[in-house]
Structure 1
């Protein structure tokens, strides 16, 4: 623990002489403010960063903010600063968050008032330039910006992707460019202690912190790329410290909640050690780091406004308790464009859920679907929906031990431009209330059947050279210093990302006898969303209690089997009934962490709030595929003590 003197000298004597210690306090707006306080309270850090924005956050509040009914910023970001301000002043910890959302200026001014009321010498700043709503309002005359996946000619856009251009009454409610770290660095150079941003990219606060700490230039691409991945590792709350972890079931459940979030110690060369404060729950292992590394990747290239990270050579190593080093990241110049998230009022959604129990479930759901479609056709509405899906969720347990284990449900999901179309669907619940299959039942509350307005997402790209960005520093007596910032000095055009099957695949029979087992009995996985696309990474674990160590020959052999077995064709086979020939797949490998990675384009429809999928963010896709039964070499199962468990579970 540092002394008060060391705290005061942190920014004059220590900066650049050791790794920057960067703690993260939020991965989403729901994370309570006390996580910021804990990161300041439980140990010594130089910076606290926070990512409060999912794709749709800003859009959800844009209309209310414009009407004066919402402050535009995230309340939990303010709660964190309010709880932590005394420690920030005492320990001289700098804070960089994107919790300003739609109104970073408003939150910055509120924080400045708090600082002044406390009599503290802390300078508050805010970032402007991400909000492009005025530029995007009239797209019918100006044209729609290029789609995020436009450079990939193998991708087919989901139906209705271009509705905001091609149809009437689809007004844009928000348009925000993903900014990099340049404004953050400029603010730190000018003495800012607390920087409030809007839609900077999730990892940008960490990049900016490390960039300033080590005095990098904007062409130190290897270093910037390392900081980008350090930010990626800690940006999601507790995901790197045990939350949302594929191997959770091999650890005590009590260790998996009420955890503290991650810390990245970023070294001068951009490599990092991921760790956490002691004294609270959670854990950092090679496997938790690999899981988070593989989350929401775009393939082997990770794009940011400041740098493009090349991931092929990534490696991790446990270097102490709750300390994992990651290295091998290379950098290239960033693209000349940045991501632009456009949200528009797309129409209305409704959802109906009905249950069936036991005998004849498939026939029951078939009857109900035919009846509802008959009613819609008679009303003249069947062809009026943008989306109308009858999704069968779950299967009854054979020889069920209870009624609950025998029950599954039919989810009717509907989207339409006109609320009257959805109301017509809801009206059939009454019309056919007493015409149904045997044993029909549902929840007593059908409020979800009532149409509700929804926002849909169009992911675009926008020239960085066209952005008008600035860092704005609040001073005494309400003075304001606004400093314009400039785009990257060097960029590199976007190209198609690599995709390939494995080089020199092993002969699968060379691994000996196989047994039917779940893929997840020998590998872990992590999946997530990128707009309309899902990513899924599979890897050989090293840190589970049941896993064999990386020094074991079985570790390398399992990798040879995994890279040879998990082809694009095999993934398509595992998707089974969920496969659509319109999907496009990219496949790459990360041999340093023994991982095979896929991006499946189009599987999430329009993505985010416009997706009809029950798992609209693909969070469960990796675990679904791990549950698929495949032919696994017996020696791998025996090496992990899984043979008996696998047989018993099938």
Structure 2
């Protein structure tokens, strides 16, 4: 009688990057300091694609891939070969083929037996105008939400293709081409604009031999990928509870590892030899980062995280479970970048008595000069943003110092240079759209064989077998609120005294997830933290053109919001100083609110 085949052990996927600024040493350290099966790297933010397009336009010989990704692979090739580690990164940016060929050459030069592949299909630049202006134009990312008002001039580039040319248009691909490459023997796969978590999903799907319809398992891997995609965020960086740990704990923070089981559940951990820490709270903070609500969308699966559970197993080991999967949407995100013009920022400071009046004078002087020279109307945007409040009775000059940020945008460089003769930078605007997955020609190409080192083996994967139409995202207030007076006397304290949070950008929108520690606190918090309350906490930053969605994650005591429109046209053209929305959560946590004193007396160890 034959024994049934046992499922494989959990696959250990180590991530080494969350942005192009992460050093190459992160990949080397993940390979060196312990056993891993895969190393993945997410090097692309939306602005990186625009920057790479601008760099490529400036000189045809300049690489259009991410240098830190290439350097990390080259530095780690010996360990990758000896330890039989698979590598999947999106560092190919606008030229995954070029980077793959450069890596292949390094492999050949070192005499290693590693096969390199690259994924194509995300580049839709040549089709972008036809897709946007055709008989059935593709919609904006937030078109289905009738309550959302798009920023002014969002579509202006479509009316001026010569003056505002598209420089890049890349669709967010899924895991299928990556897995096809692994199936066909690839050891290192270079991708362009795949979704951030797709390399992790591919690693788990290949390891456990999942089918494309194993949605619950894929959803679990999607969440695992989301948790480790941002470099050191889940191991202590950008952590709302950092004040409870000594500063030394944040030196030389290592990147995370996800151990993904055959069921899709995962344990988030790290190499013991590297710095940082993994706790239930660092995991919750990262889980709540850049969400769309309680349904997380990917090109291959939708993950319902309404019942997500986060459990501390032991030091530096946190189990995450409860994600449920469904077929993916029939569309995927298409990030379109166009040359909208030029941008100038001037940062000034003033200190001492009557600083506000000093800033009034500065603004009047600049505006009047531009008006007299008939240059004011040439500017698309001119804002005078005051940053900070001077300390009353200051104990040093710095304590009485505040900033003014003069921000200008215009179609011509000389127009913004009229605001400032220096400090002007070319910048890209960003338009997030949705493109049908059926229009994408996604493929993976393996480079070389033992018999033909220069050969190419291309394999197309086609769209997902099954998709679902996009639905309006859920949004609701708490279903059975508790009277706030029932929690007893309150003291006005910063919300952050008992609440941790994380926020980030989603195109033109900002998400913020906030959570407490105990069931008692949860009863108060879910009743307290309404949409109206968030509007109130936003203070002068609230605008009636914005729209809020709200959901709850009761098993981790979290309330999650999406604020539509806060970033204008999106990260790369937002006028906000916090253009990525990463500081939004810390701002909200700093606002004073009435907190029940019984919670302030608890040692909740945030």
* Pairwise TM-score range, normalised by the shorter structure: over 0.9
Which of residues 108, 113, 116 in structure 2 aligns to 1:116? Answer: 108
SS in structure 2 opposite 1:149? coil
Which of residues 49, 52, 62 in structure 1 aligns to 2:53? Answer: 62
SS in structure 1 opposite 2:431? strand
SS in structure 2 opposite 1:516? strand
Q: CA deviation at 1:141?
A: 5.5
Q: Mark the CA change 1:458 to 1:176 in structure 2 (over 3 Å): closer, same or farther.
A: same
What is residue 481 of structure 1 aligned with on the other side?
A: 457
What is residue 142 of structure 2 aligned with on the other side?
A: 149
Q: Structure 1 CA distance, aligned partners of 2:507 and 2:189?
A: 28
Q: CA deviation at 1:138?
A: 5.7
Residues 390-438 of structure 1: per-residue CA shift (max 9 Å, x gap): 11110110000011110112111111112232222226xxxxxxxxxxx
Q: Structure 2 CA distance, aligned partners of 1:115 and 1:16?
A: 33
Q: Structure 2 CA distance, aligned partners of 1:527 and 1:374?
A: 38
Which of residues 281, 290, 301 in structure 1 aligns to 2:284? Answer: 290
Query: Could you tell me whether the CA contact under 8 Å between 1:259 and 1:280 is conserved in 2?
Result: yes
Query: Could you tell me whether the CA contact under 8 Å between 2:129 and 2:158 is conserved in 1?
Result: no
Q: CA deviation at 1:453?
A: 1.9
The answer on 1:509 being equivalent to 2:493 is no
Matches within 5 A, 1:10-409: 16-65=7-56, 67-137=59-129, 142=134, 145-167=138-160, 169-409=163-403
What is residue 622 of structure 1 aligned with on the other side?
A: 585
SS in structure 1 opposite 2:127? helix
Q: Structure 2 CA distance, aligned partners of 1:121 and 1:15?
A: 30
Which of residues 518, 537, 542 in structure 1 aligns to 2:494? Answer: 518
SS in structure 2 opposite 1:478? coil
Q: Mark the CA change 1:615 to 1:226 in structure 2 (over 3 Å): closer, same or farther.
A: same
Q: Structure 2 CA distance, aligned partners of 1:140 and 1:487?
A: 20
What is residue 523 of structure 2 aligned with on the other side?
A: 560
Matches within 5 A, 1:419-434: 419-426=413-420
What is residue 417 of structure 1 aligned with on the other side?
A: 411
Residues 600-638 of structure 1: per-residue CA shift (max 9 Å, x gap): 000011121201100000111001000000000001001
Residues 105-154 of structure 1: per-residue CA shift (max 9 Å, x gap): 11111111122222222111100100111112567864753111111111
Q: Structure 1 CA distance, aligned partners of 2:347 and 2:445?
A: 50
What is residue 604 of structure 1 aligned with on the other side?
A: 567
Q: Structure 1 CA distance, aligned partners of 2:307 and 2:372?
A: 60
Q: Structure 2 CA distance, aligned partners of 1:121 and 1:357?
A: 63
Unpaired stretches in structure 2, ≥5 consecutive residues: none
Q: Structure 2 CA distance, aligned partners of 1:139 and 1:403?
A: 56
Q: CA RMSD in A?
A: 1.6
Residues 521-543 of structure 1: per-residue CA shift (max 9 Å, x gap): 011010000111000111014xx
Q: Structure 2 CA distance, aligned partners of 1:33 and 1:425?
A: 39
Q: Structure 1 CA distance, aligned partners of 2:604 and 2:295?
A: 36
Which of residues 557, 580, 584 in structure 1 aligns to 2:547? Answer: 584
What is residue 437 of structure 2 aligned with on the other side?
A: 464
Q: Structure 2 CA distance, aligned partners of 1:234 and 1:353?
A: 35
Q: Mark the CA change 1:641 to 1:502 in structure 2 (over 3 Å): closer, same or farther.
A: closer
Residues 217-238 of structure 1: per-residue CA shift (max 9 Å, x gap): 1111111000000000000000
Residues 144-191 of structure 1: per-residue CA shift (max 9 Å, x gap): 531111111110001121121134500000000000000011011111
Q: Structure 1 CA distance, aligned partners of 2:236 and 2:7?
A: 30
Q: CA deviation at 1:32?
A: 1.1
Q: Structure 1 CA distance, aligned partners of 2:420 and 2:104?
A: 50
Q: Structure 2 CA distance, aligned partners of 1:354 and 1:245?
A: 30
Q: CA deviation at 1:47?
A: 0.5
State the TM-score, normalizing by the size of structure 1: 0.89
What is residue 528 of structure 1 aligned with on the other side?
A: 504
What is residue 598 of structure 2 aligned with on the other side?
A: 635
What is residue 6 of structure 1 aligned with on the other side?
A: none
Q: CA deviation at 1:16?
A: 4.7
Greater mean alpha carbon deviation, residues 475-484 or residues 15-24 = 15-24
What is residue 645 of structure 1 aligned with on the other side?
A: none
Greater mean alpha carbon deviation, residues 252-261 or residues 393-402 = 252-261
What is residue 496 of structure 1 aligned with on the other side?
A: 472
State the TM-score, normalizing by the size of structure 2: 0.96
SS in structure 2 opposite 1:269? coil
Q: Structure 2 CA distance, aligned partners of 1:217 and 1:276?
A: 28
Q: Structure 2 CA distance, aligned partners of 1:40 and 1:531?
A: 33
Q: Structure 2 CA distance, aligned partners of 1:559 and 1:216?
A: 37
Q: CA deviation at 1:259?
A: 1.2
Query: Could you tell me whether the CA contact under 8 Å between 1:181 and 1:208 is conserved in 2?
Result: yes
